[in-house]
Structures are given as C-alpha cells and as structure tokens.
Amino acid sequence: MLPNKVYDVAKYVLQIVVPALVVLIAGIGALYGADVSKITALLTLLATFGGSVLGISSAVHQTKTSDEKEE
C-alpha cells in the first residue's frame, strides 16, 4: 500500500504531467516533422499502467479502511 503523499504525487503526475508531456512531444514532433509516435505511445502505455496500479491501490486502501471502521 502506498503512503498518501506518494499516492497524491503519483496521481498528479499520471493525470496532469504525463498527458501534457505527450501533447508537448507530439506537437514538437509535428513542428519538426519527426516521428514521435513510439515515444508518445510508450508514455501513454506507462501512464495507463500506472493509473491502473493506483486505482487498485486506492480500492484496496478503501476496502481496508471501511473494514477497520466496521470493527
């Protein structure tokens, strides 16, 4: 389970920074005529994987928290 601070930073990076970075790289590639599709695809895949892991971590945390409250 991730500490809250780590979770918050990872969530921010995956939801805000990575998508903005993908758009920036795609835009620069378009300006200079470079094929950046592999780089942007890799970043998108990593962000999707990270988001899935964070979602699972959050669900586990919420389940444990609700179980503790019931006891």
Per-residue pLDDT of 43-68, as tens digits, reads: 999 999 999 989 888 887 777 767 66
Quick check: 59 and 15 in contact, CB under 8 A? no
Question: Angle 39-14-38 (CA atoms, 0-180°, nearest 5)?
Answer: 10
Q: Which tokens belong to 28? A: 């620069």
The whole-chain average pLDDT of the chain stands at 89
pLDDT > 90 in the chain, percent: 62
Chain-centroid distance, C-alpha 32: 28
